[in-house]
Amino acid sequence: MNFKLLIDPLAKQDLIDIYNYVAANDSEENADKLLENLENTCLDLEKLPTRGHIPEELRNTGIKRFLEIHYKPYRIVYEIIDRVVYVHLVADGRRNMQDLLSERLLR
């Protein structure tokens, strides 16, 4: 049985920002491909949501409800509640993830 996927409005904005950045600094064609691949990676969570792992930045905090998967260099952070996968963050892993996770998840 599949899970339901919900993408937080802030994570949707992350996808838009990533698309716009790549379109402006590379090409629209590459931005289209990247967006499609990121969206497909998120959709795969409907089938295999438990395949992710606890983000390194959260491991020592004792917070274990958030998981992440990668579409390098991007990190997709989510949690599973009942049979729903909530995507909270899509970010370039080269950014300061500690600050992003604190700001977005621990509010």
pTM, 2 dp: 0.93
Which tens digits make up the pLDDT trace of 70-97? 999 999 999 999 999 999 999 999 888 8
Structure confidence at residue 107 (pLDDT): 63
Structure confidence at residue 9 (pLDDT): 97
Which tens digits make up the pLDDT trace of 16-56? 999 999 999 999 999 999 999 999 999 999 999 999 999 99
Beta-bridge partner residues of 69: 76
Options 3.30.360.10, 3.30.2310.20, 3.10.50.40, 3.40.50.1950; which CATH number does 4-105 get?
Answer: 3.30.2310.20
Contacts 24+ apart (CB under 8 A), 15-21: 15/39, 15/90, 18/74, 18/90, 18/92
